[in-house]
Each structure stands twice: as structure tokens, then as C-alpha cells.
Amino acid sequence: MTHEAGIPLGIRFKLLSDTAQDSAAQVVNEVVVGDYRDLDTLRRFAEGCDVITFDHEHVPTEHLRALEADGIPVRPGPEALVHAQDKGVMRARLAELGVPAPRNRIVSGPDDVAAFAAEGAAEGAPGSGFPVVLKTVRGGYDGKGVWVVRGAEDPIAAEPFKAGVPVLAEEKVDFARELAANVVRSPHGQAVAYPVVESVQVDGVCDTVIAPAPELAEDAALRAQEMALRIAHELGVVGHLAVELFETKDGRLLVNELAMRPHNSGHWTQDGAVTSQFANHVRAVLDLPLGDPRCREPWTVMANVLGGDYPDMYAAYLHCMARDPQLKIHMYGKDVKPGRKVGHVNVYGDDLADVRERAAHAAGYLRGTIAE
Ligand code: ADP
């Protein structure tokens, strides 16, 4: 989708891909198949590139530092990107900046998890006691790498430590809903903020995004945008930054995590904003002026298509396109596996209930959970 946004600008992409079948490898002309964890592969790939950017955050930080030392511009750079790679580094830096977050601490084992829960519990301090959320600091996505520990005897508390990666404990926030503040920043410091969205998660996976977040107070929306712009500025982010937020029942906004790349909470912008997150990411990476982030329509709803077992895509397209001529379908050309994000739909209009129904219907139909 980033490549798609570069086409009208005549920008040539070269892709480093795990396999020749990956979604992007199916559409980018120049593909190198190789392992992004191998520095020699990265160095060979980087030859002839003007600038390097990402669609995931897992390229080792030290390899990116090596590429920068070789003189290759990496955007976002490793000193910013590490905050999206390592939740421990992110939590420590945001605490320094005074950004509100769930109570958290790096823990060393199940006993330490119990100690973390107990801290402040006697005084009834906010966020103390069980349940506690545990996360490996690196390598998680879509809820993989996140565990909820219900009590001191809960055997699940031992699981995260088996990976040999540092583990972060957090209070389990009793949130009203999840929001995302998406911003884009260019190397010389221009930045734009998209309208704050609501992101509805099912089993730790994003299911639906509503733009803008319904009934979000104007001052809360501004606070979220300002927080995201400030984080982008302080960390020196270049490109798209998604700040995932919890809105608590008493109206506080706590940062859950950061993503530094076009993000699922920004997919609605392809059809619902004047300039998509992908187009603005490309502009930022090339240090071009950024495009207008505002909504085109009062409401846009994005619904993810999660892999099911629908046997006949052509029949599904016939049904969905005939039912809703305004529907925008974005499928990724991925192998369908249960629960895997294989595409999304965008629907927009001025009646939120209608827009939500049409998006849910199309996504449900394409994933095979709604029958004829
Ligand atoms: P991932 O890196 O897998 O996306 P996240 O840290 O975003 O992991 O967690 C995935 C989901 O788990 C979140 O969207 C949220 O629903 C839930 N979650 C994560 N941390 C907390 C927390 N401290 N309190 C309550 N729920 C949480």
C-alpha cells in the first residue's frame, strides 16, 4: 500500500522481502528475497537506495545504526525506531517526557510479578493489585507476546519468561475504549495530525476503526493529537507515528504503545482522508511537504478482513460490490489463515450506524462469517 502511494509520484521502490510470495513482493518490481536480520543482506540491499523505510519494526536496531554509519538515510532512524521496537525503552522514555501511561515496571520472574502487583495495593493505589498484564519487550504483535495474570498463583505468570527476552509488567487498565492518534513528521520538522480514531479490538486484534472517534470531547481529541505530535518531535520520528491510547472511564488518556510506520489504525485514510497515511509516509521519508490529513466525509469506518474459510472470493466480491457500490475493498494477496489479517474494507458517509453496518457486513462476508 506504501508502494501504491508512491506510484503517482513516480517513486521507484526496491523491496527486501522474506519470501517471493509476500504481499508487497507481488506488486513491487524490484524484489530482493532475504533475511532482514542479516547485516550483509541489508548492506547489499541498501546499495543504490536513496533512503530506507519499513513496513514493520523488527529490523535489529544495531543493523540500522550500521547502515546509517555507511551513509544510508534510514527513516525513521534507529534512535527513534527503538521506541517502537522495545516496549521497555519506550516506557522509560515516555516516563521521562511525563507522558501518561499505565503503571509499569520491568520484572524478573513470577515472584517479581506478585511483588509488582502488591506494590501500593495495601494503600489501594491506582493500578495496584491483580490482574497484571505481562509483555515481552520485543517481538510482539497483534496481542502475541501479551499475557494477563489473574493472581499470585496463576501459572500463566511463568510463560513470558520462557522466551529469554526482558518482560514488562503493567497494570491492567480498565479502559472505556482504545483510541489511536496518528501523526506524520518530516525530517525538517513539519508535522500533521489525523483526526483521533477509535480502534475496536477483538481478542487482542484490531477489528474495526472509526474515524473520527465517536463522541470524543474536543479537548480530549486535541490533547491526544498534541501528545502524539510532541512524542514525534521529542523522539525525532520521521514518517508515520501511531500512538495507541487507552481512554479511561474517568477521561484520562494513557499511552499503550507506539508504531512507526503506516498502521492499521490509519488504513481508513486511504478512502476517508484527503491524504492517506501511506502518501504522507512517503512524502515524509522523502522530506516533501506533507498533505492535508483531514476527513473527506463525516464518518469513515475501516473493518479488517480476518482469514476465515470462505471458499469463493469471486462470489464474495459479486455479493459485496452489488450490495454496496460505495464499498472500498483492499485485499492483501496473503494466504488465508484463521485469524490472520488478509485485507480490510473502508466505508464512508454521514450516518455512522449505516456506515458501521455496511463495513461490518462486507468484512464479515469476505471472511465467510456472514452467509448469503
Ligand atoms: P501488540 O504489540 O501485540 O499490539 P499491545 O501492547 O498493543 O500488544 O497489546 C495488545 C492489546 O492488549 C491492546 O490493544 C489491549 O487491548 C490489550 N492491552 C495491552 N496492554 C494493556 C494494559 N496495560 N491494560 C489493559 N489492556 C491491555
Instruction: Pull the grid cell for residue 186.
Output: 518530516
Per the domain annotation, does 327 fall within a domain?
yes
- Give pLDDT, residue 164: 87
Q: In Å, how far from its chain's centre is CA 205?
A: 11
Q: In Å, how far from its chain's centre is CA 125?
A: 31
Ligand 1 atom with the smallest distance to the CA of 206 is: 14
Q: How many domains does the chain have?
A: 3
CA neighbor of 260 nearest in space, from 77, 102, 118:
77
For atom 22 of ligand 1, the residue with the nearest CA is 172
- For 41-97, the pLDDT digits (tens) are 999 999 999 999 999 999 999 999 999 999 999 999 999 999 999 999 999 999 999
Whether residues 20 and 73 share a domain: the answer is yes
Q: Ligand 1: does its nearest atom lie under 6 Å from the Cβ of 206?
A: no
Average pLDDT over residues 256-283: 98
Whether residues 269 and 289 share a domain: the answer is yes
- Give pLDDT, residue 204: 81
Asked if residue 252 lies in contact with residue 99, where contact means CB atoms within 8 angstroms, the answer is no
Give the E-state strand segments of the chain in sequence order: 14-17, 30-33, 104-107, 132-136, 146-149, 167-171, 175-185, 191-193, 197-202, 205-211, 239-248, 253-259, 299-306, 328-331, 341-349
Centre of ligand 1 to C-alpha 83, Å, is 16
What Rg do the C-alpha atoms of the chain give, in angstroms? 21
Ligand 1 atom with the smallest distance to the CA of 244 is: 7
Per the domain annotation, does 359 fall within a domain?
yes
In the numeric block, the cell 517479581 is attached to 112
Centre of ligand 1 to C-alpha 243, Å, is 12
Of 118, 153, 171, which closes a domain?
171
Per the domain annotation, does 98 fall within a domain?
no
- For 308-366, the pLDDT digits (tens) are 776 688 999 999 999 999 999 999 998 888 888 999 999 999 999 999 999 999 999 99
Give the E-state strand segments of 307-354 in sequence order: 328-331, 341-349
Q: What is the CATH number of the domain that holds 78?
A: 3.40.50.20
Q: What is the CATH number of the domain that holds 142?
A: 3.30.1490.20
Q: Ligand 1: does its nearest atom lie under 6 Å from the Cβ of 201?
A: yes
Centre of ligand 1 to C-alpha 31, Å, is 34
Q: Ligand 1: does its nearest atom lie under 6 Å from the Cβ of 140?
A: yes
For atom 17 of ligand 1, the residue with the nearest CA is 204
Asked if residue 276 lies in contact with residue 295, where contact means CB atoms within 8 angstroms, the answer is no
Per the domain annotation, does 95 fall within a domain?
no
Whether residues 47 and 180 share a domain: the answer is no
CA neighbor of 84 nearest in space, from 277, 266, 260:
260
Instruction: Pull the grid cell for residue 187.
Output: 525530517
Q: Ligand 1: does its nearest atom lie under 6 Å from the Cβ of 103?
A: no
For atom 8 of ligand 1, the residue with the nearest CA is 143
Separation between Cα atoms, residue 149 and residue 158, nearest integer Å: 10
- Give pLDDT, residue 256: 97
- Give pLDDT, residue 126: 80
Per the domain annotation, does 90 fall within a domain?
no
339 CB-near residues (< 8 Å, 6+ apart) = 203, 205, 306, 307
Asked if residue 272 lies in contact with residue 211, where contact means CB atoms within 8 angstroms, the answer is yes
CA neighbor of 277 nearest in space, from 190, 179, 193, 189:
193
Centre of ligand 1 to C-alpha 357, Å, is 26
Centre of ligand 1 to C-alpha 2, Å, is 26
Q: Select from 85, 146, 170 the residue to mutate for testing ligand 1; criterion: most ligand atoms less than 8 Å from CB.
A: 146
Query: What's the burial of 29, exposed, middle or buried (CB within 10 Å: 0-12/13-18/19+)?
Result: exposed
Q: Ligand 1: does its nearest atom lie under 6 Å from the Cβ of 172?
A: yes
125: domain range? 103-171
Centre of ligand 1 to C-alpha 172, Å, is 9
Whether residues 116 and 53 share a domain: the answer is no
Per the domain annotation, does 222 fall within a domain?
yes
Separation between Cα atoms, residue 289 and residue 192, nearest integer Å: 10
Separation between Cα atoms, residue 259 and residue 224, nearest integer Å: 15
Whether residues 67 and 158 share a domain: the answer is no
- Give pLDDT, residue 5: 97
Per the domain annotation, does 318 fall within a domain?
yes
- Give pLDDT, residue 140: 72
Instruction: Pull the grid cell for residue 347.
Output: 466505508
pLDDT top residue among 367 and 168:
168
Whether residues 219 and 356 share a domain: the answer is yes
Asked if residue 134 lies in contact with residue 157, where contact means CB atoms within 8 angstroms, the answer is yes
Separation between Cα atoms, residue 66 and residue 291, nearest integer Å: 32
347 bridge partner residues: 301
Separation between Cα atoms, residue 337 and residue 44, nearest integer Å: 33
Q: Does the predicted model carry a pTM greater than 0.85? A: yes
Whether residues 284 and 164 share a domain: the answer is no
